[in-house]
Amino acid sequence: MNDTAAAVLAAVLVGGPAVMLTPFWLAHRSSESHADTTAAAIRAQQRRERAERPKELTHR
């Protein structure tokens, strides 16, 4: 086996699993990003609601 064949074989052995696992990695990364964004939006909404409640209670 010459150097070129060994390099191609190594690329196939390493690249094959990497190509197959890439969609799972991308899906995991996307879901983590979505979870972080959603959590930040929920926290911001809760802060706004807490700030509005004392004003509402004093008006009644």
pLDDT in tens, 20-51: 888 898 899 999 999 999 999 999 998 887 76
| Domain boundary assignment for the chain | 21-60
> Six-digit token pair at 29?
């990364």
The model scores a pTM over 0.75: no
Amino acid letter, 50: R
The residue-averaged pLDDT of 5-30 equals 86
Separation between Cα atoms, residue 34 and residue 17, nearest integer Å: 26
60 pLDDT exceeds 60? no
